[in-house]
Amino acid sequence: MILHFTNARLIDPASDDVAEGSLTVEDGCITARNEDAPEGAELVDCGGRCLAPGIVDWGVKIGEPGERHKESYATAGRAAAAGGVTTMIVRPDTLPPVDSPESLDFVIKRASDSVVRVRHMSALTKARDGREMVEMAFLRDAGALAFTDGVRVVSDNKLLGRCMTYAKGLDALIVGHPQDPGLSKGAAATKGKFASLYGIPDVSHLAERMGLDRDLSLVAMTGGRYHADQITTADALPSLRRAKASGLDVTAGISIHHLTLNEFDVGDYRTFFRFTPPLRSEDDRLAMVQAVADGDIDVIASFHTPQDEESKRLPFAEAAPGAVGLQTLLPAALRLFHQGGLSLPQLFRALSRNPARRLGLDGGRLDRGAPADLVLFDPDAPFILDRFALLSKSKNTPFDGARMQGRVIGTWIGGERVFG
């Protein structure tokens, strides 16, 4: 089948360009830009709306195995398609964790229930307990894109150094969570007047810089490939910039919630705003937006973390952290565009192009020969978010009742429409 998208605003993160044009798709790949429609092509009139590479969402939590009542591959896939996410990079923090070729094979097979593409990360240590390295070579051969223990920080420096050394030999990527585990244990807010006033257990923002400095020192020692999953404080940025300037193979990400919310959004102990790491100050948030614009932070992700009602209807410090984000990632990110902080190409550089390149995936671009994983959206369409209308099993979004701007009109995977 041949598709020809006409009357589109093409968002090209590679050329940092937005231009009126057309796109031709054949056999699941992009074959031409701004050329006449081939004979017999199915025409898709975009109506002047934006057509961009599909989002590659790095760090999605799925509840299979162990917590299927919170999210399944089928429900997550439908939510992703409705949000313009064409590839989910799934975390290994399941019950039990994905830490062996057999468990990886299980989740790969379960992912066939999803209507969007799914790729997996593996745990870095067995059972994610920070004591013994996983069989990294076997897991890489079985399809693991990267290795991470998620928010469980490996505190044993010697073990983490060995993991990085071994990963370097495989050209494998390690994903770290920059936090000092001792300081951040039990914390639910960032240290400051707000946390003190509300009596919430807190942690200094410097715990992030301390954790990042430790990780970057080990990267310098081993020469390994490293990605910091979330950098959320301005004090951590100088270390990140120095590491990049010195030639270390380092990238960094941030969640959309830390880019669009701050510590005051917690309000009267609203547990949908409980995150790991906790929400930061407005000064930190603005610094992170600028860091994305400057390219210091490479990736924006939803860090989709479904939690059931019972896990959230608890005192703030006891509530399970995290929020769903597959379906809200793009409209939340468009807040940054409408506020003037980031252009549309800058957004899709961080949402699509950079994560695809870092993980070695052939996506995130509108070049000839690229897979036709596309999202068509209206960046100006207003709506009020109703969490019960979300397609995820869990409904724990901090944007419930919020005024949003930007709707997904259609999503295509390999030229096949999966939403809209």
Could you please report the per-residue DSSP string of 260-316?
H--GGGGTTT-GGG--SSPP--HHHHHHHHHHHHHTSS-EEE--B----HHHHSS-G
Q: Are 20 and 49 in contact (CB under 8 A)?
A: no
- Over residues 384-391, the mean pLDDT reads 98
- Over residues 108-120, the mean pLDDT reads 98
In the chain, % helix, strand, coil (3-state, to 5) comes to 35, 25, 40
DSSP 104-168: HHHHHHHGGG-SSEEEEEE-SBGGGSSSSB--HHHHHHHTEEEE--TTS----HHHHHHHHHHHH
Domains of the chain: 2-50+373-393+405-419 (2.30.40.10), 53-358 (3.20.20.140)
- Over residues 23-28, the mean pLDDT reads 97
Q: Per residue in 61-73, pLDDT tens?
A: 999 999 999 999 9
- Over residues 125-138, the mean pLDDT reads 98
Q: Are 50 and 285 in contact (CB under 8 A)?
A: no
Q: Are 359 and 89 in contact (CB under 8 A)?
A: yes
The rounded distance, in Å, linking the Cα atoms of 119 and 108 is 8
DSSP at 95: S
Residue 1 has pLDDT above 90, yes or no: no
Whole-number average pLDDT of the chain: 97
pTM, whole model, 2 decimals?
A: 0.97
Q: Per residue in 30-65, pLDDT tens?
A: 999 999 999 999 999 999 999 999 999 999 999 999
Q: Which residues contact 76 (CB under 8 A, 6 or more apart)?
A: 60, 62, 88, 114, 304, 306, 326, 392
Residue environment code for 88-126, b if the CB has 16+ CB neighbours within 10 A, otherwise e: bbbbbbbeebbbbbebbeebbebbebbbbbbbbbbbbbe
Q: Per residue in 172-190, pLDDT tens?
A: 999 999 999 999 999 999 9
